[in-house]
């Protein structure tokens, strides 16, 4: 099968070279043996707490980081084999902070034009300008705003500019890493609806990453739950929301706004010294002896892929 994006047994380690003395020389495994794919025209949601490895996965998806092991494939071609122009033509990214993709010293029109300049060098300046203005209009900004600078926009408008920049070169896949986390709730809804409209219009595929399960649920038909570098559950949104199979997924759902549940107790263990056995066992309400001894393998359970000795 060919997918717009596929992770094949991908891992990523970091060696600590600077900083705290007691961490120096240690290895951090941020992503551990992850296999996932995004279907054409669909959204794969990826959810987990801060520090679980989801942004490292996002960066590997667009080639900003290379895997330590495994392979990232774009339409069945190894990402590592694609030239930067080809990568930019096929994949773009929307970051949490639009300033990551918008140069504060460039007008937004110039920033939005950058991916087009790279992927379509044959376009004249007039054609570039025409396409940029059309794209700004698509994200509900006015043509004259092309000549303004990022600091002259509100947070929501800046994220619209970042979406325009990501979509202007007509990629087939967009990686959205916490794209609405920094926005007010009302503005979040506008940006999410804009992303959905663009997907419907262009048949885009998204890898959509958030710590917020309700946001991921709004955007995605398929959801992967990540904990300390592992995918611990993969299921359709409906299955995950109605019958979470992993205790961590159940805890995230219970803690979601409006559910009235209590926040998940405890903190994610340090990735430098992951606990023996199942990494979730120190926080798991149903942990047993086996969980403290042996790390669980992935298993299929009622339409879910789940990494737990005792799925719910």
Which chain residues interact with ligand SF4 by CB under 6 A? 246-247, 278, 280-281, 284, 286-287, 291, 296, 308-310
Report in angstroms how near the CB of residue 218 gets to ligand SF4 at its nearest. 26
Whether 4 contacts 38, CB under 8 Å: yes
172's tokens: 């087939």
Q: What totals of helices (H) and strands (E) does the chain contain, helices first?
A: 10, 12
Report in angstroms how near the CB of residue 297 gets to ligand SF4 at its nearest. 10
Report in angstroms how near the CB of residue 74 gets to ligand SF4 at its nearest. 33
CB-count burial class (<10 Å; 0-12, 13-18, 19+) for 25 = exposed
3-state secondary structure 152-177: HCCHHHHHHHHHHHHHCCCCCEEEEE
Report in angstroms how near the CB of residue 274 gets to ligand SF4 at its nearest. 12
Concatenate the DSSP letters of all residues of 94-162 into one string: E-SSGGGTS-TTS-HHHHHHHHHHHH-TT--HHHHHHHHHHHHHHTT--GGGGGS-GGGS-HHHHHHHH
The SS3 call for residue 251 is: helix
Nearest CB to ligand SF4, comparing residues 10 and 232: 232
Report in angstroms how near the CB of residue 245 gets to ligand SF4 at its nearest. 10
Nearest CB to ligand SF4, comparing residues 22 and 297: 297
Report in angstroms how near the CB of residue 43 gets to ligand SF4 at its nearest. 26
218's tokens: 């709004």
End-to-end CA distance of the chain: give it in Å, rounded.
Answer: 31
Nearest CB to ligand SF4, comparing residues 211 and 292: 292
Nearest CB to ligand SF4, comparing residues 64 and 286: 286
Nearest CB to ligand SF4, comparing residues 206 and 280: 280
In angstroms, the CA 175 to CA 54 distance is 11
Nearest CB to ligand SF4, comparing residues 140 and 293: 293
Whether 149 contacts 104, CB under 8 Å: yes
């Amino acid at each position: 099968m060919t997918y717009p994006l596929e992770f094949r047994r991908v891992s990523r380690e970091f060696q600590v070279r600077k900083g705290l003395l007691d961490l120096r020389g240690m290895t951090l495994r941020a992503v551990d043996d992850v296999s996932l794919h995004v279907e054409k025209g669909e959204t794969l949601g990826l959810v987990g707490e801060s520090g679980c490895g989801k942004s490292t996965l996002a960066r590997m998806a667009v080639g900003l980081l290379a895997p330590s092991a495994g392979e990232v494939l774009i339409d069945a071609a190894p990402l590592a084999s694609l030239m930067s122009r080809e990568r930019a033509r096929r994949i773009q990214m929307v970051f949490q902070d639009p300033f990551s993709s918008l140069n504060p010293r460039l007008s937004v029109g110039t920033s939005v034009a950058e991916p087009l300049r790279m992927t379509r060098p044959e376009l004249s300046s007039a054609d570039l300008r025409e396409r940029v203005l059309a794209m700004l209009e698509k994200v509900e900004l006015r043509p004259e705003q092309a000549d303004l600078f990022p600091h002259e926009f509100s947070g929501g408008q800046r994220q619209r500019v970042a979406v325009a920049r990501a979509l202007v070169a007509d990629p087939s896949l967009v990686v959205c890493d916490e794209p609405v986390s920094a926005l007010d709730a009302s503005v979040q809804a506008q940006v999410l609806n804009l992303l959905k409209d663009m997907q419907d219009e262009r048949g885009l595929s998204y890898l959509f990453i958030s710590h917020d399960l309700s946001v991921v649920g709004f955007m995605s038909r398929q959801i992967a739950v990540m904990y300390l570098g592992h995918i611990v559950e993969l299921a359709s949104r409906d299955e995950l929301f109605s019958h979470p199979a992993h205790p961590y997924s159940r805890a995230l759902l219970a803690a979601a706004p409006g559910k009235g549940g209590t926040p998940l107790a405890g903190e994610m263990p340090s990735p430098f010294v992951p606990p023996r056995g199942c990494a979730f066992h120190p926080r798991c309400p149903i942990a047993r002896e086996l969980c403290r001894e042996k790390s669980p393998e992935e298993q299929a359970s009622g339409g879910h892929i789940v990494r737990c000795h005792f799925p719910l």
